[in-house]
Amino acid sequence: MSAPAHQRDLTVGPVAKTLFVFALPSLGVNILQSLNHSVNSVWIGRFLGEEALAASANAGLIMFLMFSTLFGFTMATTILIGQNMGRRDVESVRRIMGTAFGIFLAAGLVTAAAGWIFAPQMLRLMATPETVYPLALAYLRVIFLSMPASFVMVLVASSLRGVGDSVTPFWNTVLNVVLDIILNPIFILGWGLIPAMGIAGSALATILAGVISLGLLLRQIYASDLTIRLRGHELKWLRPDARFLKPIARMGLPMGLSMIIMSGSAVVMIGLVNREGVNTTAAFGVMNQLWSYVQMPAVAVGSAVSAMVAQNIGGNKWDRVGRIVWSGIGINLLMSGALIVLMTLFAQPLLSLFLPSGSPAIDIAIHINHIIGWTFVLMGVSVVVTFAVRANGAVLAPLLILIFSAVLVRFSIGFGLHDRFGADAIWGSFVATAITSCILSIGYYVHGGWRKAKAMPNMGGPLIQAAPE
């Protein structure tokens, strides 16, 4: 069976080139999603003011935590699909897709209903200011209605990467972003027969953009007969199968927990930063905005490494796995390193985009970047290695490494040395976290037992052999 357009067999071809070409569309998706968020914030801020912008930020934090949890199960599905693609077991690919689709759709419907009902309690728990609360509630409730389509969209895009197609999700993201940008001002301000809906209109625009792009994506999947499609008797596989549900849950829960721990650790550290005063808080906030772009190559390359490693493990091509990982590390070093250098050289003009000229926060931000900026190279190495070992079902060790580095090490230095070194103890804690995570991740990759892990039992395709000693 010939591969559909854009679907790559990741078990053949030159490793570095294949990985780079496969990762680029994923990087494009990350950039587009960040830009879309920024543009939507501009629409809301310009048309509706600061309170509406604060309301969307409060609602956005809840959405981020939800999708952080979802991330683990999405990655687990991608890994299982990738391994079965590697062993050419298309039936298992579709059975996994069916189980995941049924679970994600059901989870989206439950989340939408629960979110609509409990949105007030969520906002109260976050201590949302009274002036912002009504706007935040209106925005959040409408956004919750998008959860079924959003959950399915995330699953389908990730599953396509699992079968070797990163191009289709990219173009679908382009469509989604363009629609969202166009529809936001129309629904916020009103146009023709469409009434002005304010902040609820922004949320509705996001929903419509997502539903339209998802519909067109599913249409393309079936029109092109892509591997993950289900039709005829295969539709019965939408009912979750315990054989596939168990490995998705076994891997998904630790990976989802990892995202929650990372987010929670960041929130705690922001609380410590806030003690340093408004200028330091502003400086750190702006640097986080800029660092988000520095981290994008690591996430894109890591996702590509995960899919590629999974396929090659499934195809018993262990000789390629090591080359994939080290190529991923090399590509990330070049891309992240280049961005860090550019950010350091042009720190002043970049910071001036966010902060007024002469603000004391600019010098503070430059100081923070000098201490922390270079560590994103190390964090990128950790991300690539972590995604690689997870591709064989090894999820517990990366979780323990994260807890040790991002919680124990970070908090010990950040809180323990704060009285002596002040804010520099906070920045130093990020450095210590990056170094610890990098050393432990590489150590586990080289000496750990991740090669003996197993993502799921074989369901009928060729057996996956253990890695050679």
Q: Please state the domain count of the chain.
A: 2
Is 369 inside any structural domain? yes
Contact between residue 184 and residue 205 where contact means Cβ atoms under 8 Å apart: yes
Residue 263, domain extent? 252-455
Question: Which of 260, 254, 66, 72 shows the shortest CA–CA distance to 155?
Answer: 72
pLDDT for 372: 94
Q: Domain check: are 127 and 147 in the same one?
A: yes
Domain boundary at 189, 216, 240, which?
Answer: 240
Whether residues 223 and 333 share a domain: the answer is: no
26 located within any domain: yes
**322 and 347 part of one domain:** yes
Please determine, for residue 468, whether its predicted confidence score (pLDDT) is greater than 70: no
- Least confident range from 41-50, 161-170, 208-217, 403-412: namely 41-50
pLDDT tens digit sequence for 293-309 = 899 999 999 999 999 99
Last residue of a domain, one of 214, 240, 266: 240
The pLDDT of residue 452 is above 90 = no
What's the Cα-to-Cα distance from 383 to each of 333, 367, 387, rounded to whole Å?
12, 25, 6
In a domain, 462, yes or no: no
pLDDT band at residue 5, thresholds of 50, 70 and 90? low
Which of 217, 240, 263 delimits the end of a domain? 240
The mean-pLDDT minimum among 55-69, 244-258, 284-298 falls in 55-69
394, exposed or middle or buried, with CB in 10 Å at 0-12, 13-18, 19+?
A: buried
Mean pLDDT of 78-104: 91
Whether residues 101 and 132 fall in one domain: yes
pLDDT for the residue 4: 57
Split at pLDDT 50, 70, 90, the class of 59 is confident
Is 463 a domain residue? Answer: no
Task: Identify whether 461 is part of a domain.
Answer: no
Helices H, strands E: what count in the chain? 17, 0
Q: Same domain, yes or no, for 172 and 292? A: no
The answer to whether residue 423 is domain-embedded is yes
Please tell me whether residues 281 and 208 are part of one structural domain: no
What percent of the chain stands above pLDDT 70?
94
